[in-house]
Amino acid sequence: MRNTIYKQSNEAQFATVMGLTLREEDVCKLVVQGCSNKEISSELLISERTVETHRANIFRKLDVHNAAELQHDYGGFFDDNLIN
């Protein structure tokens, strides 16, 4: 239970500090996990175009240019091995 609270707190702090919306945070987690736009749209029940928009906003806000850079720079915030 305590680990779950810590994980939620860590992710919420990340989103707040980085200026992400809750939905952008959801998309960011899935991008970091390596999910495609199609997989993300299915998981979150949104269109692929909406996923593209969220990804563009995330990349702009976090000053990254692609998913690999996002995973490298920010993947630790969502790493299940560190905050499970």
Burial of 24 (0-12, 13-18, 19+ CB in 10 A): buried
In the predicted model, residues of the chain with pLDDT beneath 50 are: 1-7, 81-84
The total number of structural domains that make up the chain? 1
DSSP 3-48: HHHHHHHHHHHHHHHHT--HHHHHHHHHHHTT--HHHHHHHHT--H
- What is the structure's pLDDT at 77? 79
Calculated CA dihedral for residues 45, 82, 66, 55, nearest 10 degrees: 30
Q: State which residues form the domain around 52.
A: 2-83
- What is the structure's pLDDT at 11? 60
- What is the structure's pLDDT at 3? 45
- What is the structure's pLDDT at 2? 40
Q: What's the CATH code of the domain at 31? A: 1.10.10.10
